[in-house]
Amino acid sequence: MEQTSNRFLSLDVFRGMTIVFMIIVNNAGSGATPFAPLEHAKWFGFTPTDLVFPSFLFAVGNAMSFAMKKFDSLGTGAVVFRIFKRAATIFLLGYLMYWFPFVGHDATGWHLLPISSTRIFGVLQRIALCYLFASLIIYFIKSKTTVVIISLLLLFGYWFILLIFGDHSDPYGMLTNFGTTLDKNLLGDAHLYHGEGVAFDPEGILSTLPAIVNVICGYYAGKFIQEKGKGYETISKLMLYGFLFIFIALCWNMTFPIAKKLWTSPFVLLTVGIDLVMISALIYVVEIKLWNKGNWTRFFTTVGKNPLPIYLFSELLIVALGWIYIGKANFNDWINTAFFQVIAPGAIGSLLFAISYMLVCWLFGKVLDNRKIYIRV
In a domain, 20, yes or no: yes
Segment holding 111, helix H or strand E: strand 109-112
The answer to which of 127-131, 161-165, 276-280, 288-292 has the lowest mean pLDDT is: 288-292
In a domain, 253, yes or no: yes
In a domain, 101, yes or no: yes
Phi, psi of 110 (to 5 degrees): -80, 145
In a domain, 3, yes or no: no
In a domain, 84, yes or no: yes
Contacts of 193 (CB under 8 A, 6+ apart): 119, 121, 122, 199, 200, 201, 202, 203
Contacts of 179 (CB under 8 A, 6+ apart): 162, 204, 205, 206, 207, 262
Contact between 263 and 211 (Cβ < 8 Å): yes
In a domain, 2, yes or no: no
In a domain, 97, yes or no: yes
CB atoms within 10 A of CB 185: 8
* Of 116, 141, 9, 127, residue with least CA distance to 58: 127
Provide mean pLDDT across the span 333-343: 91
Q: What is the largest CA-CA distance in the chain?
A: 67
d(CA 358, CA 337): 19
Q: What confidence category does residue 305 fall into, taking pLDDT thresholds of 50, 70 and 90?
A: confident
Query: Which domain covers residue 167, as residue numbers?
Result: 9-370
Provide mean pLDDT across the span 217-229: 92
In a domain, 1, yes or no: no
- What is the per-residue pLDDT for 112? 80
- What is the per-residue pLDDT for 270? 98
Provide mean pLDDT across the span 177-204: 91
Q: Does residue 155 sit in helix, strand or coil?
A: helix
- What is the per-residue pLDDT for 54? 96
pLDDT at residue 1 is higher than 60: no
> How many CA within 13 A on the CB side of residue 367?
8
CB atoms within 10 A of CB 162: 22
- What is the per-residue pLDDT for 116? 77
pLDDT at residue 89 is higher than 70: yes
Q: What confidence category does residue 70 fall into, taking pLDDT thresholds of 50, 70 and 90?
A: confident
